[in-house]
Amino acid sequence: GQTIRLEDYRPTDFILHCVDMTVRLFEGRAEIDTRLVLERREGVAEDAPLVLDGDELTLTGLALDGAVLEADAYTATPDRLTIRQAPARDRFLLDIATRTVPEENTKLMGLYRSNGIWCTQCEAEGFRRITYFLDRPDVLAPYRVRIEADRTAAPVLLSNGNPTESGDLGDGRHYAVWDDPFNKPAYLFALVAGDLDSIREPFTTASGKPVELAVYTEKGRAGQAGYAMDALKRSMVWDERRFGREYDLDVFNIVAIADFNMGAMENKGLNVFNHKYVLLDPQTATDADYAGVETVIAHEYFHNWTGNRITCRDWFQLCLKEGLTVYRDQEFSADERSATVQRIGAVRRLKAHQFPEDQGPLQHPVRPTEYKEINNFYTATIYDKGAEIVRMLATILGEDGFRKGMDLYFERHDGDAATIEDYLACFEAATGVDLSHLAVWYNQAGTPTLSVHEDYDAGTDRLTVTLRQSLEPGAAGTRTDPVHIPIRFGLVGSNGQDKDAVPTQGPDVEGDVIHLTEAETTLVFENLGERPYLSILRDFSAPVNLDFAQSEADRLALARLDPNLFNRWSVLNDLIGEAMVRACRAGGKETASPLPAEIVDAVLATAADPALEPAFRAQALALPAEPDVARMLGRDVDPQIVHDVVDAARRAISTAGVQVFERLAAEMATVQAFSPDAESAGRRALANAALAYLTAATNDPAAAEAQYASASNMTDRLAALGILVHRFPDAPASQAALDDFYRRFETDELVLDKWFALQATVPRPATLETVIALTGHARFSMRNPNRVRAVIGTFAAGNQLAFHRPDGAGYRWVAERLVELDRLNPQIAARIATTFRSWRSFEPTRRGQAEATLRQLLETEHLSTDLGDILGRSLK
Ligand code: B3K
Ligand code: ZN
């Protein structure tokens, strides 16, 4: 594949005015007639050809201004249509007829079929698999779409915009016409046709506009769409209140699809979802699933303004819509749930996914400057680090300043395909704040380190704090200049209250935020009355590695006292992580506890504190996971040692805390009817954490077995099954529970994914043999992305002991599956291949095995651009 570069950006030679399509669906084929109104852009040479993108297309007709084009007037290949002589000045009509076979589209990009339903996925470059087009985000137009299909096979016909017309065609066929008045790029096009059930609800926007909302599902599943509908309505209200953004069409449709490459897609007025993010009920979905649905529904809805009304000029600007929309969905969830607990979850995910990406061979700036395959850039860096930059912007400007900048952005750029520069310019114009140091975040790959040094002089009652930022050069080869790091902080007194912390020397401090824009700076605080505890980087106000040798005593005090709850969690979590790292470096001698008694006590005190909300207490009990510890170790990682250390830490807490856990298990047990709200979910999380520790203390699966049998909801049932299968894999009770689970939920693909994933993550080397068997199971399919992710993806990403087996068998098995998968669905293959990215951080044996596997894989013939790109960069 060739490299696309940001510096090469230039507008298209031709302007597109509108799109009119007729899509005729039949068993085994789709016929697509597309009429484009085009015009040569002013200043473009009169002999410049019109070049349209295609991908695996068959051209069946072509006419210019109504006249069929002679064979020598154009060249058509499956991936390009070149028209040699397009009119020099006037607008002209181009009629293109193409034909595709949706049933054979295993890439799930473009028009395909999922369980009989016709559906589309066009972002990033799927529209060119439907028709020849100027398939890039800066080509916007209104669309009119007519769909024709058999009425029995597809009573429901949907596309973007508003429905305008429908009727009978005879012969059992019918049609519907959809009009989307808003200019949009092709990646937001969507079409769905099938025999679907739905639920509907009216909504009235703040200014009184009525909107008909609908969620469509496969037959018989609409009863599971109620929570998604509820989340949609809450999202709509929230966007009106928080950002003043109203919905703009007469209808808003969501469709749940079983075979989907990603989570969901924000097509204008017709969001298409992986059914995992729509279908729920207490018996089949966990609290985490409910939270996931709420987030993804909100995210896709929020794209209507940040992504659709204002889109990206080119794919290098992807974070303009994704980072911003993640920030918006995080803020929504913070408002709907517990802000602190949501932030802890977001930071855990950032560190688990984005940090390793940014610190390894696949690192890239939040706004990349080149790519080979854009689908490989829908990454944690674009999404989550992109959201962190928006969060820093909000921290720097304050709530009012941020809102003013957002208002100006919506006003200035509505209808545009914009850039990051456009975005930042709005905030500078609205507030007068210089954002040049913040802008640097977009262009540099890697996680900066923030080093903190403190020195308190009791004689003069002065606290001196030195802050230093640094960035290691990495694989992306980008610059390492200082960035604007907003550091939220507090000086906590022994009474647990923040002192007035106005420095007598040092850089800008606004309220509780230090603005570090230089490589290094020093602050001096005076007249404190006592040595305060320095609470730094509150709420993780910047995505940095914190390097602060704060004493254990100070951190334990902060874990009890800090008025900032996020930091109470983070100091404790860091202490645990650092202790685990020390134990790993010492070789992980399994007899001694890796956790000092004071840390164990602090964890238990937090878990037992009735003044804290249960969800927060559950977070305090959730230890750093094995991959977190591996990341902190950084090099020469031996996953077996990491596993033993994490396990020993768990046992240390469980033995010391038996009484606490017995009490919690009883107090938090589900008594009332199931409710998915955050409060109830927090109680279940704490109860299930207690159950896990209790079974570890007793080394007896009985309590988990009992909970499995009596559970009244999936959260409690799956938690119990997880303990059984992961901690007691050979106990007869575990196998019995697994079999029972399968029988109970056999007909529900989403629950079966949980059954597969649980077995693929049993932490022991022999799980490789289990997953080999699972891929032979009658219900395994290489064609369903959810199932592939549940078995192969979770194995590679979540099974440190089996994937990283020292004999290399785990690597080789995954590599063989990737070759198979690559022929069917390159996007999914490339995504799973990123699980190899940290290969250099392992000890020499595994490192050698992984490298040999990757090199051999890269030699495979006919590798897709997607997979080839990931492998090539991973080996760089
Ligand atoms: N914009 C889509 C992701 C498309 C991924 C294409 N490979 C979903 C989202 O971020 O909302
Ligand atoms: Zn998005």
Write the CA distances from 437 to 430, 450, 519, integer angstroms. 17, 16, 11
**C-beta of 300 in contact with ligand 1 (< 6 A):** yes
Which residue type sits at 295? Answer: T
Same domain, 320 and 361: yes
Mean pLDDT of 107-132: 99
Same domain, 149 and 173: yes
**C-beta of 644 in contact with ligand 1 (< 6 A):** no
Cα separation, 467 vs 484, whole angstroms: 13
> Residues 59, 60, 65, 67: what is their CA dihedral angle, to the nearest 10 degrees?
130
Strand-pair category, 92-100 with 58-64: antiparallel
Residue with tokens 């020849």: 132
Catalytic residue among 148, 300, 331, 388: 300
The answer on pLDDT for 97 being more than 80 is: yes
CATH of the domain at 374: 1.10.390.10
Same domain, 426 and 462: no
Which mutation among 55, 109, 123 tests ligand 1's pocket best, with the greatest number of atoms within 8 A of CB?
A: 123
Same domain, 617 and 636: yes
**C-beta of 62 in contact with ligand 1 (< 6 A):** no
Q: What's the number of CA atoms in the CB half-sphere (13 Å) around residue 376? A: 28
pLDDT of the residue at 588: 75
- Choose one of 580, 613, 646: the last residue of a domain: 646
**C-beta of 866 in contact with ligand 1 (< 6 A):** no
Cα separation, 119 vs 255, whole angstroms: 9
- Choose one of 442, 461, 478: the last residue of a domain: 442
Partnered with residue 485 across adjacent β-strands are 516
Same domain, 388 and 488: no
- 707 belongs to a structural domain: no
Cα 231 to averaged position of ligand 2 atoms, centre (Å):
16
Name the band, by pLDDT with cuts 50, 70 and 90, for residue 117: very high
Cα separation, 42 vs 434, whole angstroms: 36
* Backbone φ/ψ region at 862: left (φ over 0), alpha (ψ -120 to 50), beta: left
**C-beta of 188 in contact with ligand 1 (< 6 A):** no
Residue 302: Cβ within 10 Å count: 28
Residue with tokens 């920030």: 327
The protein residue whose alpha carbon is closest to atom 1 in ligand 1 is: 265
Same domain, 177 and 102: yes
The atom of ligand 1 lying closest to the CA of 383 is: 10
CATH of the domain at 106: 2.60.40.1730
- 90 belongs to a structural domain: yes
Write the CA distances from 606 to 555, 615, 796, integer angstroms. 14, 11, 33
Query: Looking at the 3D structure of the chain, how many domains does it have?
Result: 4
Same domain, 53 and 177: yes
Strand-pair category, 533-536 with 485-492: antiparallel
Which residue type sits at 664? Answer: L
Ligand in nearest proximity to the CA of 266: 1
Which residue type sits at 15? Answer: I
- 817 belongs to a structural domain: no
- 119 belongs to a structural domain: yes
Tell me if residue 300 is catalytic: yes
pLDDT of the residue at 501: 82
The atom of ligand 1 lying closest to the CA of 322 is: 10
Which residue type sits at 498? Answer: D
- 679 belongs to a structural domain: no
Give the pLDDT confidence of 791-805 residue by residue, as tens digits.
999 999 999 999 999
Cα 305 to averaged position of ligand 2 atoms, centre (Å):
11
Tokens linked to 149: 């299909």
- 742 belongs to a structural domain: no
User: Do 758 and 725 form a contact (C-beta atoms < 8 A)?
Assistant: yes
Give the pLDDT confidence of 769-784 residue by residue, as tens digits.
999 999 999 999 999 9
Write the CA distances from 686 to 295, 626, 706, 710, integer angstroms. 22, 21, 18, 18
Name the band, by pLDDT with cuts 50, 70 and 90, for residue 669: confident
Across 535-571, b (16+ Cβ under 10 Å) vs e yields bbbbbbbbbbbbebebeeebbbbbbebbebbbbbbbb
Residue among 790, 798, 795, 799 at smallest CA distance from 816: 795
Mean pLDDT of 696-713: 97
Query: What's 511-541 look like in SS3?
Result: CCEEEECCCEEEEEEECCCCCCEEEECHHHC
Name the band, by pLDDT with cuts 50, 70 and 90, for residue 672: confident
Mean pLDDT of 718-730: 98
Ligand in nearest proximity to the CA of 300: 1
Q: Is this structure's pTM higher than 0.95?
A: yes
Cα separation, 169 vs 595, whole angstroms: 73
Partnered with residue 61 across adjacent β-strands are 97
Give the pLDDT confidence of 5-62 residue by residue, as tens digits.
999 999 999 999 999 999 999 999 999 999 999 999 999 999 999 999 999 999 999 9
Tokens linked to 379: 């990454």
Residue among 79, 123, 121 at smallest CA distance from 98: 79
Cα 306 to averaged position of ligand 2 atoms, centre (Å):
9
Give the pLDDT confidence of 329-343 residue by residue, as tens digits.
999 999 999 999 999
Give the percent of the chain with pLDDT over 90: 98
The answer on pLDDT for 670 being more than 80 is: no
The atom of ligand 1 lying closest to the CA of 264 is: 8
Residue 398 makes CB contacts below 8 A (sequence gap 6+) with 510
**C-beta of 125 in contact with ligand 1 (< 6 A):** no
Give the pLDDT confidence of 565-619 residue by residue, as tens digits.
999 999 999 999 999 999 999 997 755 789 999 999 999 999 999 999 999 999 9
Cα separation, 417 vs 312, whole angstroms: 5
**C-beta of 326 in contact with ligand 1 (< 6 A):** no
**C-beta of 148 in contact with ligand 1 (< 6 A):** no
**C-beta of 831 in contact with ligand 1 (< 6 A):** no
The atom of ligand 1 lying closest to the CA of 375 is: 7
Cα 358 to averaged position of ligand 2 atoms, centre (Å):
20
Name the band, by pLDDT with cuts 50, 70 and 90, for residue 300: very high
Residue 591 makes CB contacts below 8 A (sequence gap 6+) with none
The protein residue whose alpha carbon is closest to atom 3 in ligand 1 is: 265
pLDDT of the residue at 237: 99
Same domain, 521 and 606: no
Which residue type sits at 864? Answer: S
Number of H-type helices and E-type strands within the chain: 29, 32
- 597 belongs to a structural domain: yes
pLDDT of the residue at 591: 59
CATH of the domain at 462: 2.60.40.1840
How high does pLDDT run on average in the chain?
A: 97
Residue with tokens 């305090």: 620
**Structural domain of 332:** 311-442
Give the pLDDT confidence of 485-538 residue by residue, as tens digits.
999 999 999 999 999 889 999 888 999 999 999 999 999 999 999 999 999 999
Cα separation, 688 vs 698, whole angstroms: 15
pLDDT of the residue at 242: 98
**C-beta of 324 in contact with ligand 1 (< 6 A):** no
Cα separation, 613 vs 683, whole angstroms: 8
Same domain, 436 and 422: yes
How does DSSP assign 128-150, residue by residue?
GGTS-B--STT--EEEEEEEEEE
Residue among 229, 293, 276 at smallest CA distance from 114: 276
**C-beta of 378 in contact with ligand 1 (< 6 A):** yes
Give 590 or 834, the one with higher predicted confidence: 834
pLDDT of the residue at 340: 98
User: Do 180 and 142 form a contact (C-beta atoms < 8 A)?
Assistant: yes
Same domain, 537 and 460: yes
Ranges 204-213, 592-601, 666-675, most confident: 204-213
Cα separation, 597 vs 593, whole angstroms: 9
- Choose one of 412, 442, 472: the last residue of a domain: 442
- 485 belongs to a structural domain: yes
User: Do 270 and 256 form a contact (C-beta atoms < 8 A)?
Assistant: no
Which mutation among 107, 109, 125, 266 tests ligand 1's pocket best, with the greatest number of atoms within 8 A of CB?
A: 266
Cα separation, 123 vs 103, whole angstroms: 20
Cα 478 to averaged position of ligand 2 atoms, centre (Å):
26
Same domain, 355 and 426: yes
Cα 132 to averaged position of ligand 2 atoms, centre (Å):
25
Cα 305 to averaged position of ligand 1 atoms, centre (Å):
15
pLDDT of the residue at 753: 98
The protein residue whose alpha carbon is closest to atom 2 in ligand 1 is: 265
User: Do 323 and 366 form a contact (C-beta atoms < 8 A)?
Assistant: yes
pLDDT of the residue at 95: 98
Cα 519 to averaged position of ligand 2 atoms, centre (Å):
33
Give the pLDDT confidence of 191-207 residue by residue, as tens digits.
999 999 999 999 999 99
Same domain, 39 and 172: yes
